[in-house]
Structure 1
Amino acid sequence: MSVMLLEHMRDELIGSGAVRNTPEFCRAWLGRSEGYIRTLRNHGTGPSVETLAICAHKLGHYADRLRGSGKCDHAAMAAQFDRLKSLCDQAIARQAEAVWRDPERMSA
């Protein structure tokens, strides 16, 4: 997986006002250093399952809090966070399946 998912999420969160820039997204939403996306791009790798799980959990947490606020303008942001969480969950599932389908890694 490429960094495109992280860049998409970052762009959506910036657009919604939840973050201001890439370094803030990397630190606050991924639990990584401010250069995490740049490092992934330079190495040609994708985000770790741990990073995706951290982001998915935080998105889900704040989606629930926004939904519980009772403010209608928060409902749209909660739906956006739910959608982004789903993208993280799908990426985690793809990476997990790649591991258990790899015969060298899962042989007895």
Structure 2
Amino acid sequence: MENSKMGEMIEKILTVLRARGDVRSSADFSREWLGREESYVRSLRAKARPASAQVLATCASRLLERGDALSGSQYGSVKKHGMELQQLAQECIQTLILEARR
């Protein structure tokens, strides 16, 4: 993946979600969080291409949706995880805004 802010954000999200057990692989991440084919992240890395704004927006939307659902939990650890997903979504949105200003 090209060393762009959007590419860095995608890699960060994948790392966090993998560490939390939300995804097992880049294929799962591509399909479930980016709305793309399983090979999407692998392809970006192999071809050194940046992630698209649409993909980052889709990811932010899915992070917010899951984060909102979890942050309403009565269980502290689940609520905390939801808030972490919401924070990642906000970082995605900030990255999109910064890239749009370039």
TM-score by length of 1: 0.82
Q: Which residue number corresponds to residue 13 of structure 1?
A: 17
- Tell me, in whole angstroms, the C-alpha distance in 2 between the residues paired with 1:90 and 1:46: 17
- Tell me, in whole angstroms, the C-alpha distance in 1 between the residues paired with 2:48 and 2:26: 18
Q: Is the 8 A contact 2:56 2:96 kept in 1?
A: yes
- Tell me, in whole angstroms, the C-alpha distance in 1 between the residues paired with 2:34 and 2:41: 10
Counterpart pick for 1:54 among 35, 51, 58: 58
- Tell me, in whole angstroms, the C-alpha distance in 2 between the residues paired with 1:90 and 1:15: 23
Structure 2 SS opposite 1:19: coil
Greater C-alpha Rg = 1
> Partner amino acid for 2:62?
K
The runs of 5 or more residues in structure 2 that have no matched partner are: none
Q: Which residue number corresponds to residue 73 of structure 2?
A: 69
> Partner amino acid for 1:14?
R
> Partner amino acid for 1:71?
Y
Report the CA distance between 1:45 and its aligned residue: 2.0
> Partner amino acid for 2:63?
L
Report the CA distance between 1:66 and its aligned residue: 0.5
Counterpart pick for 1:39 among 36, 43, 46: 43
TM-score by length of 2: 0.86
Structure 1 SS opposite 2:98: helix
Q: How many residue pairs are counted as aligned between the two chains? A: 98
Q: Deviations over 1:50-91 (max 9, x none)?
A: 101110011111111111122211122112102211221122
**Aligned-pair identity (%):** 31
Q: What stretches of structure 1 move > 3 A for 4+ residues in a row? A: none
Greater helix share, structure number: 1
